[in-house]
Amino acid sequence: MKSIAIAALLGAASAGRIPVKKVNMTKDMYNNQQNVINAKFLGGEHVTVKDYMNAQYFIEVSVGTPAQNFTVVPDTGSSNLWVYSHSCWSIPCFTHHLFDHSKSSSYKADGQAFDITYGSGGVKGTVGWDVAAVGDIKATMGFGEVTSVSGISFDVSSMDGILGLAYDSISVDGLKTFMDNAEVSDKSFSMYLHDTTEESYMVIPGMDSDNWTTIDSHKVVEQKYWALELDSVAQGTKKIDASKYKAVIDSGTSLLVGPKELVDPLIEGITVNADCSNISSLPELSFTIDQTTYTLEAKDYVLKVT
């Protein structure tokens, strides 16, 4: 059984890291991420993670020989790699990097239809085979060459595609994931995500044991998404039983989301002023997983839309 480790910072080091970018949240992006979520349920190599405006994280992935580089979302809530194709004529494809398979000596055509539908739209194309790389970690794999895009969520995002990091059991077309195909025996990975004031990064394989130590570890209870056993949620001292639910760790979104049965009592009575002036008086929200409780202060869960 695989597990999720919660790590604590020991020190700071930057050599060889692969950056992750983050992007600030807007009202449109908030609504679009809600739609995407509804449809889902897009010590080894150091990879920089870019923080784009405190709302999204990106890493750099290369595909083909010679390498063609793309900015993608490292997404633990999906399992496929896809990038925009040179044959795409949808609006986002005019402002993003495009994969041209005719320029890759290692490319092999497949032709199988590739189709992922989200609540606010979707992507369509065909499957191709080539070498993908994250830092120095390479994988020869099937991926989506997207030729058609629908939905505003793709128009407003800076991403050129998505790198799925969930299990292949939910992969479109039954394609193996990047980690399944990666040329490493250790298939683990870890993310160290901060706001724009600090560097974010991934380590593939393993974790940054020189700078962090494990403080909690939880078993993955369903090998589709990275799902953990959820015990309860609470608003201040008001506790709500959540034992019949699983909690999914999804790096592809910055939202906390759940069923009405849990969310309604969790946020009952919470009113945020338009200028967020009352944040200091709002209650803490907490989540208990395997009898371990994690708490969010109001500043961590209030979304300010300007």
State how many domains the chain has: 2
**Chain segment 136-171, per-residue pLDDT in tens:** 999 999 999 999 988 777 877 889 999 999 999 999
What does the pLDDT read at residue 27?
55
Banded pLDDT at 67 (limits 50, 70, 90)? very high
Does 15 have pLDDT greater than 50?
Answer: no
What does the pLDDT read at residue 224?
92
Global pTM value? 0.82
Average pLDDT over residues 7-26: 57
Residue among 51, 75, 208, 231 flagged as catalytic: 75
108, 237: one domain = no
Banded pLDDT at 12 (limits 50, 70, 90)? very low
Residue finishing a domain among 204, 225, 247: 204
Q: What is the mean pLDDT of the chain?
A: 85
Residue finishing a domain among 204, 239, 260: 204
The domain of 239 spans 216-301
What does the pLDDT read at residue 119?
52
Residue finishing a domain among 204, 234, 251: 204
CATH number at residue 105: 2.40.70.10
What does the pLDDT read at residue 118?
60
Does 13 have pLDDT greater than 80?
Answer: no
Write out the DSSP string of the chain.
--EEEEEEE-----TT-EEEEEE---HHHHHHHHHHHHHH----EEEEEEEEEEEEEEEEEEETTTTEEEEEEEETT---EEEEBTT--SGGGGSS--B-GGG-TT-EEEEEEEEEEETTEEEEEEEEEEEEEETTEEEEEEEEEEEEEESHHHHH---SEEEE-S-GGG-GGGPPPHHHHBS-S----EEE---TTS-EEEEESS--TTTEEEEEEEE--EETTEEEEEEEEEETTEEEE-TT-EEE--TT-------HHHHHHHHTT----TT-TTGGGSPPEEEEETTEEEEE-HHHHPPP--
* 210 in a structural domain: no
Place of tokens 């999804």: 250
178 close to 165: Cβ distance less than 8 angstroms:
yes
Average pLDDT over residues 195-214: 86
* 47 in a structural domain: yes
* 122 in a structural domain: yes
Banded pLDDT at 260 (limits 50, 70, 90)? very high
**Percentage of the chain modeled with pLDDT above 70:** 83
**Chain segment 70-103, per-residue pLDDT in tens:** 999 999 989 999 999 999 999 889 999 999 999 9
What CA–CA distance (Å, rounded) separates 177 from 175? 6
Does 304 have pLDDT greater than 50?
Answer: no
* 256 in a structural domain: yes
167, 49: one domain = yes
40, 99: one domain = yes
Poorest-confidence range of 35-44, 152-161, 266-275?
35-44
Question: Has 75 been annotated as catalytic?
Answer: yes
Question: Has 168 been annotated as catalytic?
Answer: no
**Chain segment 99-118, per-residue pLDDT in tens:** 999 999 999 999 899 998 76
Average pLDDT over residues 10-31: 57
196, 55: one domain = yes
Average pLDDT over residues 261-283: 90
* 275 in a structural domain: yes
117, 195: one domain = yes
More confident residue, 306 or 221: 221
250, 170: one domain = no
How many of the other CB atoms lie within 10 Å of CB of 158?
15
Residue among 110, 155, 250, 264 flagged as catalytic: 250
36, 149: one domain = yes
41, 104: one domain = yes
Does 26 have pLDDT greater than 70?
Answer: no
